[in-house]
Amino acid sequence: MKSVLIDSAAALILAGAAWAQNSEVGQRAENQQDRIAQGVQSGQLTAGETANLESREAAVNQEVRADRSLNGGKLTNQEKTIVNQQQNNLSGQIYNDKHNAAAQPAAKNEVNNRLENQQDRIASGIASGKLSPGQTARLEKNEAAINREVRTDRKLNGGHLTGGEKRQVNRQLNRTSGKIYRAKH
């Protein structure tokens, strides 16, 4: 009877350890997604920084999926160590990007208001889990390209956008808005 209880207890401990192993990796990824979403929402992360972080997060997630598929749904100790190091590096990068001088520009006109609105929609998609890191990275790269174009056009026109440039940017923002909607639904 004692050996049955000891064996049962050992099995429960091992099952709990396996569950913790899988959930620890997933929980860290979830926490990092929450930190990125908060940074986007607060304006601490620019679209370019967010795209970079989300690309790195997507690569780690893809590696974990591949490793698990090769090992019957589990990570080996060596793989856990590697993933932990990658998540530590990503965590440090999130911190550095959130605390550097770069910030999403404050909304002061229609174009900036739309860009801010789309950043908020992306942030809510990250926070709710409706957007994967890969989807978010693609959306943020698109946002970063629009931001660069607006910045360049403004530099060339004394800080303002011409009517044609505003129409072009609004068309790009409409396409991006549709992409955000489709990615979230």
Beta-carbon-side half-sphere exposure of residue 47 (alpha carbons within 13 Å)? 23
Residue 86: pLDDT band (50, 70, 90) is very high
Sign of the alpha-carbon dihedral angle for 28, 30, 31, 33:
positive
Q: How many CB atoms lie within 10 A of CB 121?
A: 19
* Domain range list for the chain: 2-184
What pLDDT, in 10s, does the model give residues 138-170?
888 888 888 888 888 888 887 778 889 888 988
pLDDT digits (tens, 9 = 90+) for 37-78: 888 877 788 878 888 888 888 888 889 889 988 988 888 999
- The pair of structure tokens assigned to 138 is 């693609």
- Mean confidence (pLDDT) of the chain: 79
Model pLDDT, residue 22: 47
**Whole-structure pTM value:** 0.60
Q: Rounded mean pLDDT of 81-85? A: 92
Band (pLDDT 50/70/90 cuts) for residue 9 is: very low
Tokens for 51, please give them. 């795209």
Distances (CA, A) of 22 to 10, 63, 111: 18, 14, 43
The string of DSSP letters for 16-63 reads: HHHHHHHHHHHHHHHHHHHHHHHHHHHT-S-HHHHHHHHHHHHHHHHH
Three-class SS of 66-113: HHHHHCCCCCCHHHHHHHHHHHHHHHHHHHHHHCCCCCCCCCCCHHHH
